[in-house]
Amino acid sequence: MVAAASVVVAVGTATGMLNAFGDDGRGADAAHPQTTRSPLLESPPVTPTPSASAKPSVSASPSPSASASKEAGPSPSPKKTERKKTRTTAASAGLYRHPDSQVLEWVRAHPGDPRQDVIESRIADHPAAVWFADFTPDNITSRVRAVTAGAAAQGRVPVVVPYVIPDRDCGGYSEGGAPDLDAYDDWIDRFAAGLGSGEVIVVLEPDSVAQSECLSADDRADRFASLARAGRVMKDADPKARVYFDAGHSGWHAPAKQAQWLKQAGAASADSSDGIFSNVSNFHTTADEIDHDRAVLAALGGPASLGAVIDTSRNGNGAPPDGEWCDPDGRKIGRAPTLSTGMGRIDAYLWVKLPGESDGCKGSPGTFTPSYAYDLAR
């Protein structure tokens, strides 16, 4: 069974996640990436997207604003070798809930809605990842810094998702990203400059490894080199940053195959990696993901300190038997986000995709759909 992960391409909201993508030969039961938007800060005006009513978001794919003030990028050049840093210990504080998100906006705007209490207590009150899916080098440092500084002020750990790898989604629904790998390397330098000095979890480029089979061997090798570099740059910029690499999910590639690619992408090296992530925007059970991730880690090798984080946002009932990926019925929210899983080599359960943000079937792609959120939450 092949199932594509779940990348996200934020189209248009000021506070959302990202969304799913079409069939590209990965199997009829493929869980495709969808437009889901995690909590995000305001960014420059966005290019019009299918979600006409959505607001600008850092996870959107905006055109660079002419008025945006240019920030100096960090010193490392795109191909410079970074200094080695000692791997940090596990994050100790609680996870950060960004104050702006589509679900929070809905809760504030609908105090009398009979669904409000359930949606607020079971979804809006939980922390979720913040996506950066638009290639805007001029202000990416300040936007990342706004999130990490907000988290630091609360003594919390933010989860950030860089998502601008070139040839993103292999030209599918979430196509886009940086124009080339040199530009990507520069964007990563600027992204890393906003991490600050506190604890932060980086979910590095969903689907960038598991979906790489669409690339030629040379292009795949180049992508993996840039991903390895990205991990080194981030851990060099912030020694407390924890960087996780794409392990797909339990319904996709065999662990040995995934681990082989991950090793080429630097995921086995403590200089660039703290381990792997899986199930982003997908529905596979936590138990299946634990087994998958442990098998990938065993095949990957590297230090025993490498761990895994799992997206549990919509996996409470597991994946639908028919392989439906677009807002499938009968799903429910999974385990609450936490940094204390009690499971060996499983560092965290995260909500990378925010429950209630549509894949495009129960609502416009990437927009918060209260009926869908209520179905998941109740």
Active site residues: 169, 207, 359
- Phi, then psi, of 58 in degrees rounded to 5: -65, -20
What single letter denotes the amino acid at residue 88? T
Give buried/exposed letters for 135-171 (b at 16+ CB in 10 A, else e).
Answer: bbbbbbbbbbbbbbebbbeeebbbbbbbbbbbbbbbe
Burial of 108 (0-12, 13-18, 19+ CB in 10 A): exposed
Say which residue the tokens 């390397």 belong to: 185
For residue 116 the two structure tokens come to 């409000």
- Comparing C-alpha atoms, which of 243, 152, 161 is closest to residue 198? 152
In 172-285, where does DSSP find H-type helix?
A: 181-193, 217-237, 255-264
Helix boundaries (H) for the chain: 102-109, 116-119, 140-154, 181-193, 217-237, 255-264, 286-300, 370-377
